[in-house]
Amino acid sequence: MMEQTIITYRDEAGELLVELEASLLELEETPDDMELINRVFRAMHTIKGSGAMFGFDEIALFTHEVETVFDLVRNGKMTVTKRLLDLTLQSRDHICYLLSLPADEAVDRTEGDEIIAGLRQLVPALKPSPGSSAAAPSPQLPRLSGEDLVEEKTWRIRFHPDPNILMCGTNPISLINELRDLGIAHVVAQIDEVPLLGQIVSEQCYLYWDIILTTSRGEDAIKDVFIFVEDDCELKIDLIDSSGLIDRHDGYKKLGDILVERGDLSPVEMQKVLQLQKRFGELLVEQGVVSPEKVQSALVEQQHVKNVRRERSEAPQQESAASIRVPAERLDQLINLVGEMVTVQAHLTQVSMAGGDPVFIAISEEVERLTNELRDTALNIRMLPIGSTFSKFKRLVRDLSGELGKDVVMETFGAETELDKTVIEKLNDPLVHIIRNSIDHGIETPAARNAAGKTSTGTVFLGAEHSGDSVLVTIRDDGGGLDRDAIRDKAVERGLIAATAELTDREIFAQIFSPGFSTASKVTSVSGRGVGMDVVKRGIDGLRGTINVESVRGKGTTITLKIPLTLAIIESLLVKIGSDHFVLPLAMIEECIELSRSDVAAAHGRNMAVVRGTLTPYISLREQFAITGNRPDIEQIVIASVQGVRIGFVVDFVVGEHQTVIKPLGRLYQDVQGISGATILGDGTVALILDPVILSREAVLIEAQHL
């Protein structure tokens, strides 16, 4: 049970750290936004409190230091500066490190101590004064002790200061306000010791206070508030409620019990008044046993604890009603089971149609409808807004622009666009490399931008939008654009293209994705080794996606990634060659046309067909996969759009649309070119899933050989 609780804390803390990073980056743009400042403080406070509760003491102790600084910020005693944000972002990274650390591994406190030292330099009260000695010890930020790491508890505090406390320069109200800063507090002033007007001495204090305080800090933190006046007051602190005490769901203690417990009423007096059968508080006041202020104070305590207990009992119910946490492995298992069900449903449909029984067919159609709804629901469960990853890219832009001496900001759009969580995870590395290249190669230095008539601040745009059953992810910068001639020269030098080849801009720009390709004049920590964009290409190919590059010299570059919504189940086109079945992703298919033997003869041995007046290259899948047998007199060409280029795939017969459950290939077949997976058909046979991107390269090579 404890292990599951720790897993839950790590998940929740991870979400809070993502929110924290996003808030800090927004705060850099609007440093006076109190809502953002409070959001940062609340995130730190929650991480600290929950960490202490579940045994993550290192996280709680470290986070307390950062929380203390932001408490000064939200109280107007410090301002938000770039240095403060730098240190807080480093703090966020250090908390991530502490969070991922195994329980039995020693903590490296070096970085954490450096961060804390940097924070202390920013606190005004901790900076040495101009005339102070350099050797004088600096005050310390208040450190959190292990005794303070407790769950929220409710305390009853009676603060009865000495009448002469004002003469000592102490303001009791300041002490009460310090208590308010510890948590949720209700304060009732007691006035029964205030004399008549003619007897009042203005220098004396006649009031005393009852405070009901709910706080996650321990009793020592409360005592620390009164540490300098403990000899000048009567102080009583009692624990009256915590999660470890028995909750009475029907309410808190009765009014009389509270007053007896406080010592304001004797049990005998309580019983005497109870016999009068009136409202207890009214009876007490009428009898003159207790002052109205004391009754009011007890009522405040009663209501305070009732509210705290109600919130404590209702919060888990509200949270569970809104959402639940499910391990990713269970979702993956659910998708696998749904995939199996889709296969069985296809088999059921096939058998029912073959049998011709109307009742059986009706049942089959109902099962198909329910299976489709279950499939869509299961897939939607794994859908996440892509904006959940945008904050990490904003951080990347911020850090990298500082490293390169450039002024770059990121703007995002379409953060609500949803993708399968697996797709989002695999999309992370390609996006990182594209954004790094946009900043390093695309965005100019402030001086160069000013010379070109641009603003000194460059912008990287990152956005997403739905396009059918795919998502278009766009990365655009307003930098210098790609150098077409430099890319072409480098491609010729490396033997990627012929010196006499006539290529479009799209084809030339596509060369930047070749392995080892780089136009950088020197190798830096950011680029120049020619591995970044190659990683992008392989990553997007693995997602069955496409890449399109557009660039205008001096204006900027736009890279568009077209990614399928999910990798689990896709709509596809089922085709047949001989006795073998194959599957093509339906999202890429434009149309299907016939290919007769006379059409083949008219092409004079070239794999080209006239489609709507345009020559279109095609590849014969029968030849590609060495499938034996006789060709039909009329074959079918499936026309697909691959990275903006129309390519044909020749098959014997087009079966029709098919709902494909993707199964990965075994390790022995993972390197087979042109095959991205397999699926099981309704009759139990296996169909291979074709990769049009890889196969299209083969078609281009075939055409090049005939030129």
Question: For all residues of the chain together, what is the average pLDDT?
Answer: 82
* Backbone angles phi and psi of 564, in degrees to 5: -65, 150
**434-479 residue pLDDT tens:** 999 899 888 999 999 999 999 999 999 999 988 766 788 999 999 9
**What is the rounded CA–CA span in Å between residue 516 and residue 522?**
14
Which residue has 């940062």 as its token pair? Answer: 40
Q: What is the reported pLDDT for 529?
A: 40
Listed residue (583, 574, 580) closest to 662, CA to CA: 583
The Cα 471–Cα 565 span in angstroms is: 6
Question: Where does the pLDDT of residue 149 fall: very low under 50, low under 70, confident under 90, or very high at 90 and above?
Answer: very low
In this structure, are residues 511 and 549 in contact, taking their beta carbons and an 8 Å threshold? no
CA gyration radius for the chain? 36
Mean local confidence (pLDDT), 216-228:
84
Residue 82: Cβ-neighbour burial (10 angstroms; 0-12, 13-18, 19+): exposed
Is the pLDDT confidence value at 250 over 70? no
Instruction: Tell me the average pLDDT across 378-396.
Output: 83
Report whether 141 contacts 123 (CB < 8 A): yes
At a CB cut-off of 8 Å and minimum separation 6, what does 573 contact?
583, 584, 585, 586, 589, 638, 654, 656, 657, 658
Closest C-alpha to 545, from 529, 558, 568, 561:
561
Residue 696 near residue 621 (C-beta atoms within 8 A): no
- At residue 492, does pLDDT exceed 90? no
Question: What whole-number distance in Å separates Cα of residue 285 and Cα of residue 278?
Answer: 11
The pLDDT of 677-705, averaged and rounded, is 74
Asked if residue 512 has pLDDT above 80, the reply is yes
User: In this structure, are residues 438 and 397 in contact, taking their beta carbons and an 8 Å threshold?
Assistant: no
| Cα dist from 244 to 152, 362, 512, whole Å | 10, 59, 63
For the chain, the structural domain boundaries read 2-128+142-146, 148-321, 328-382, 384-564, 569-706
Nearest to 679 by CA among 588, 570, 579: 570
In the chain, the percentage of residues whose pLDDT exceeds 70 is: 87
**Distance between CA atoms of 457 and 447, rounded to whole angstroms?**
10
> Within a 13 Å sphere around the CA of 124, how many CA atoms are in the beta-carbon half?
8
Tokens of 397: 């832009």
Tell me the CATH number of domain 148-321, given options 4.10.80.40, 3.30.450.20, 3.30.70.1110, 1.20.210.10. 3.30.70.1110
Cβ–Cβ < 8 Å for 265, 289: yes
Residue 305: the pLDDT is: 83
Q: How far is CA 179 from CA 77, 215, 217, 308, 309, in A?
A: 18, 9, 11, 17, 21
What residues pair up with 658 in beta bridges, in sequence order?
Answer: 572
- Tell me the C-alpha to C-alpha distance, in Å, between residue 467 and each of 419, 470, 565: 12, 5, 10
**Residues 535-539, mean pLDDT to the nearest whole number:** 84
3-state secondary structure of 127: coil
Cα separation, 278 vs 37, in Å, equals 51
Task: Please say if the pLDDT value at position 248 is more than 50.
Answer: no
* Distance, CA of 183 to CA of 152 (rounded, Å): 9
Residue 581: strand, helix, or coil: strand
CA distance 187 to 157: 9
Number of helices (H) and strands (E) in the chain: give both, helices first.
22, 21
pLDDT of 328 higher than 90: no
For residues 141 and 119, the answer to whether their CB atoms sit within 8 Å is yes
pLDDT, residue 161, reads: 93
Q: What is the pLDDT of residues 98-143, one digit of tens each?
A: 988 887 788 888 888 899 989 888 887 544 444 443 333 334 444 4
Q: Higher confidence at residue 127 or residue 179?
A: 179
With 0-12 / 13-18 / 19 or more C-beta atoms within 10 angstroms meaning exposed / middle / buried, residue 205 is buried
Q: Which of 223, 245, 227 is nearest to 152 (CA)?
A: 245
Please state, in angstroms and rounded to a whole number, the distance separating the CA atoms of residues 695 and 273: 94
- Residue in 688, 686, 685, 579 with CA at minimum distance from that of residue 629: 579
Name the residue with tokens 């990769």.
691
CATH number belonging to domain 384-564: 3.30.565.10
User: Which CATH code is given to the segment(s) 569-706?
Assistant: 2.30.30.40
What is the crossing angle of helices 328-355 and 358-381, to 10°?
160
Relative to beta strand 418-420, strand 383-385 is antiparallel
Give the torsion through C-alpha atoms of 445, 450, 451, 453, to 10 deg: 130
Residue given tokens 């296809």 in the structure block: 346
Taking a C-beta distance cutoff of 8 angstroms, is the pair 525, 543 a contact? Answer: no
Q: Are 14 and 95 in contact (CB under 8 A)?
A: no
- Both tokens assigned to 58: 């290192």
Distance CA 237, CA 240 (A): 9
Gap between the Cα atoms of 214 and 120, Å rounded: 29
* Cα separation, 60 vs 96, whole angstroms: 13
Which residues on adjacent β-strands are paired with residue 563?
Answer: 471
Per the CB < 8 A criterion, the answer to whether 243 and 152 are in contact is yes
d(CA 641, CA 248): 68
Q: What's the confidence (pLDDT) of residue 499?
A: 83
Locate 170 and state its tokens: 């102490």
> DSSP secondary-structure letter at 396?
H
Please tell me whether residue 420 adopts helix, strand or coil conformation.
strand
Vertex 233 angle, CA 179 and 188, to 5°: 45
- Rounded to whole angstroms, the Cα distance separating 689 from 675 reads 6
3-62 tens-digit pLDDT: 777 777 888 888 888 889 988 988 988 888 888 998 898 888 888 877 877 778 888 888
Cα distances from 590 to residues 69, 89, 146, 541, in angstroms, run 60, 48, 67, 20
**What are the pLDDT digits (tens) for 417-426?**
888 888 888 8
Instruction: Report how far residue 158's alpha carbon sits from residue 211's, in angstroms, rounded to the nearest whole number.
Output: 6
**CA pseudo-torsion sign 289, 292, 297, 302:** positive
Structure token digits, residue 553: 């010299």
Over 70: is that where the pLDDT of 706 sits? Answer: no
pLDDT at 177 over 90: no
The strand pairing partners of 213, in sequence order, are: 155, 185
Cα(632)–Cα(597) distance, integer angstroms: 9
Sheet strands (E) in 599-693: 608-611, 614-620, 634-642, 645-651, 653-661, 675-680, 686-690
Q: What is the pLDDT of residue 147?
A: 46
Burial of 25 (0-12, 13-18, 19+ CB in 10 A): buried
Residue 194: φ, ψ to 5°: -75, 125
Residue 514: both structure tokens together: 């070749």
What CATH number should be reported for the domain whose range is 2-128+142-146?
A: 1.20.120.160
Contacts of 12 (CB under 8 A, 6+ apart): 50
| Structural tokens at position 697 | 């390269």
CA atoms within 13 A on the CB side of 580: 15
